[in-house]
Amino acid sequence: MKAAVLREVNQPLEIEDVQHGNPGAREVLVRTAAAGVCHSDLHFQNGSYPYFLPTILGHESAGVVEAVGSDVTYVKPGDHVITCLSAFCGHCEFCLTGHMSLCQEPELQRGGDEPPRLSKGGESIAQFLNLSSFAEYMLLHEHAIAKIREDMPLDRAALIGCGVTTGVGAVIHTAAVEPGATVAVIGCGGVGLSCINGAAIAGASRIIAIDTTPSKLDLARKFGATDTVDAGAEDPVGAVRELSGGGVHYSFEAIGLKSTTEQAWKMIRNGGTATVIGMIPVGTMVEIHGPEFLREKTLQGSNMGSNRFRVDMPRFVDFYLAGKLHLDDMISSRIKLEDVNDALAQLETGEVARNVIMFD
């Protein structure tokens, strides 16, 4: 199969012919239909987050089940599925207490005495975040997929695999935004737009979108933003505090920077909550004013929207088909696998929400 392989940090991905193994007892072979090019992929390509190399990037995808292992009963060949990088074991403390997105059990991977899931001519290729979606096929543990209805377009379903689940989930699960609350979202890429959409679904009374790209701010209004702030033209903290009468109840940082994380903290009111969704680079320290904890302000993180993805993803599909999730507007363009490096470069400029690689 063809796949986009990362062999060196800060180097282009190479389109290569690689091999996948046969499904083990609890594994599923999925024919990839679509894969979103997410900013998180860029973090690993540029070395902000170290990873085993070589690897096949990609972690936001949907496809069709091709074959299943002997112990798999959840899906069968022909089923449509969305993948999820936060695969779960189902029996660790995190899973049993409803925090499946924090599961780190090694049993989801193949053991060292087993052949690798991905290889090329005898060379082992690391599987990226349980998935490796920039490939024509994915060999996955059965707990890395969610079965969905077949009338859902798979290019839009792919977006649910990361960006939508992360953004909407941060609102409804991690922060538990209540109807009537005020919300600010810093960064209007795929995750930020999903966060805005989630806040609208949750019934927030005011949703303030913040970005430095005017076209993204225009797009944010389609997703439910009631107000926009151009952070390149004015102080976003001052603007948000003025628009919200002293600070919002909830802020969300969807970029992954020290500066914007500190801004998210500064724009919440007393008793407010700032949630960091973006991937802040390894080694970065965030500074906040300690005495503000006496004002009962909260700074927290969110991993993949604190999801229960086998429940959440089919519901998000229903939301889309009911017109509540605006996934059509999120896709900037549909591209081929060979165009993946151009798509990663476009993430650097901040001009796109999502490019989606189409395999069919």
In the 3-class helix/strand/coil scheme, how is 39-100 assigned residue by residue?
HHHHHHHCCCCCCCCCEECCCCEEEEEEEECCCCCCCCCCCEEEECCCCCCCCCHHHHCCCH
35-68 exposure pattern, b = at least 16 Cβ within 10 A, e = fewer: bbbbbbbbbbbeebeebeebbbbbbbbbbbbbbb
Q: What are phi and psi of 59, to 5 degrees?
A: -150, 10
Q: Is 326 a catalytic residue?
A: no
CB 342 within 8 A of CB 12: no
Radius of gyration of the chain (CA): 20
Tokens 């609350």 belong to which residue?
A: 181
Active site residue 101: no
Catalytic residue, chosen from 38, 84, 103, 188, is 38
Catalytic: 162?
A: yes
Exactly one of 39, 59, 80, 141 is catalytic; name it: 59
Give me the catalytic one of 95, 103, 162, 195. 162
The gap from C-alpha 333 to its chain's centroid, in whole angstroms, comes to 18
Question: Tokens in use for 332?
Answer: 């900037």
C-alpha distances in angstroms, 172 versus 158, 203, 261, 272?
Answer: 20, 10, 20, 15
DSSP calls for 182-221: EEEEE--SHHHHHHHHHHHHHT-SEEEEEES-HHHHHHHH
Contact (CB, 8 A) for 6 and 309 = no
Q: Which member of 20, 39, 40, 173 is catalytic? A: 40
* List 20, 39, 43, 141, catalytic entry: 43
The per-residue DSSP string of 322-352 comes to: TT-S--GGGEEEEE-GGGHHHHHHHHHHT--
Rounded Cα gap, residues 182 and 199, in angstroms = 9
Phi, psi torsion values for 293, nearest 5 degrees: -65, -25
Write the DSSP symbol of residue 243.
H
Catalytic residue numbers, as ranges: 38, 40, 43, 59, 162
